[in-house]
Amino acid sequence: MKSPRYHVIVDLTHAKPDVIRDQSRLEQFLKDIVTRVEMKIISGPTAVQGVPENPGLSAFAVLDYSHAAVHTFTEHDEVMIDIFSCKPFDREKARQAVLETFATPESDVRSQEIWWQSQTV
């Protein structure tokens, strides 16, 4: 593996209902978080509505070094954020952006980080 990999996943319950139901706000969140962690969007963001039997929204942006995505389950006020990159980024800034945008006092926040550094093969 010659390129490093950096992956952050944040799972949040009791998310702000007005935000997770609004396509334009999810797209703006992706623009904001990407700027905050000093990356560049090369396509998107695009947000789409889920199917009636699985209500929610998904938003996605292709980044110069990979992707950022948001998935919401509006029936349960849940949101999942996924950022994957081959470029190092400030994971605390990313987490803070998630909390500022989606968290309520009742929110339960779980996050997982996976980091693989480059190695000589």
Under a CB-based contact definition with an 8 Å cutoff, are residues 60 and 83 in contact? no
> Containing domain of residue 81, as a range?
5-116
- E strands in 50-118: 57-63, 66-73, 78-85, 109-116
Has residue 121 been placed in a domain? Answer: no
Give the model's pLDDT for residue 4. Answer: 81
Instruction: Give the CATH number, domain containing residue 46.
Output: 3.60.90.10
Give the model's pLDDT for residue 51. Answer: 87
- Split into its structural domains, the chain has a count of 1
Q: How far is CA 89 from CA 95, 96, 103, 107, 117, in A?
A: 11, 13, 22, 25, 13
User: What is the block-wise mean pLDDT of the chain (121 residues), using blocks of 10 residues?
Assistant: 84 96 97 95 95 92 95 96 92 94 93 75 42
Virtual CA dihedral for 77, 80, 18, 98, nearest 10 degrees? 130
**Threshold 0.85, pTM exceeds:** yes
Give the model's pLDDT for residue 117. Answer: 74
DSSP 87: S
Report the candidate in 97, 112, 120, 119 with the shortest Cα–Cα distance to residue 6. Answer: 112
15: left (phi over 0), alpha (psi -120 to 50) or beta: beta
Peptide bond before residue 52 is cis, with ω within 30 degrees of 0? no
